[in-house]
A = this chain, B = another copy of it.
Amino acid sequence: MLITLTTDFGYQDPFVGVMKGVIFGINPHADVIDLNHGISPQDVMAAAISLRHSVRYFPQGTIHVAIVDPGVGGERRPLLIESAGNYFIGPDNGVFSFALEDQQPDRIICLSDSKYHLQPTSMTFHGRDIFAPVAAHLSLGVPAKEFGESAESFRRLLWPKVVRQTNCLKGEIVYVDGFGNLFTNIGKEDLREFPSEKLSVTVGTIEITGLAPNYAAGTGGGYIALFNSWDFLEISLYKDNAQRRSQAKPGDKVYVWFNR
């Protein structure tokens, strides 16, 4: 049974390694995959978007642990969610909103049974003391309901909607990857009814005409727009960093114009 880890712990400290120590101490045969430890500190939204496009590529039955958890040790509940044959373990702060976007989970458990937690349990590192040991016990076959009491719902973040206006769509940048590519919330289906050869895309003072089929289409220089591997409209610079050059950032508005 695979366990994936998504955190904002970065790569400077032993925090992720220690979680693996806890997991292997409980289940020496666990298969643990680092899905993403480069989430910006406390950026629950980025983690939720990252998970949205990742979960489908893992085999059913995978346990996804996500720890971007500024509220650790406070009132937010630690959860285990079972949905469509997969498991999600982390704080109830919206981090699983988009991975479970169209799903009504089969089971939501509040991780209240301290029998499955490390003792003593710190107030600042539930990844180590609660989420890692629960994931490890779950991977050994402990039934989900053993970990605590059932809960009715979990917190869901709002996905920023694309707005249809007279001659354009209005969206926004939702994610910037390590290459500096600007991911928008505008999906392929949003543009289905429009002829792609007459599109233009604007963000700030940048204007792009038409859609590119791939990055290499941008060898001539200048920004390009294309549908990326997450099926999002993306603004990119061939062999360059669009974020650094444009200074655009999540939340900036993006417009797709038709026949302008």
Q: How many residues of A contact B (CB 8 A)?
A: 63
* Closest-CB distance, A193 to chain B (whole angstroms): 20
Q: Across the interface, do B4 and A21 meet the contact criterion of CB distance under 8 Å?
A: yes
- Give the interface SS of chain A, mostly helix, strand, loop or mixed: loop
Provide 12 A-B residue pairs closer than 8 Å at the C-beta atoms, listed in order of the A residue.
A2-B21, A6-B14, A11-B38, A12-B38, A16-B34, A17-B36, A18-B35, A20-B33, A22-B57, A71-B215, A73-B213, A124-B229
Say if the beta carbon of A123 comes within 8 Å of chain B: yes
Beta-carbon contact of A24 and B18 below 8 Å: no
Q: Which residues of B contact A124 (CB under 8 A)?
A: 214-215, 226, 228-229
A34 to B241, CA, bound (A): 24
Interface of chain A residues 46 through 73 with chain B (CB within 8 A): 50-51, 53-54, 57-59, 62, 70-73
In the complex formed, the residue of B with least CB distance to A10 is B178
A214 & B21 in contact (Cβ 8 Å cutoff): no
A216 at the interface (CB under 8 A from B): yes
Choice from B20, B37, B41 contacting A241 with Cβ under 8 Å: B41
Instruction: Give the CA-CA distance A162 to B73 in the complex, in Å.
Output: 27
A21 near B54: Cβ-Cβ < 8 Å: yes
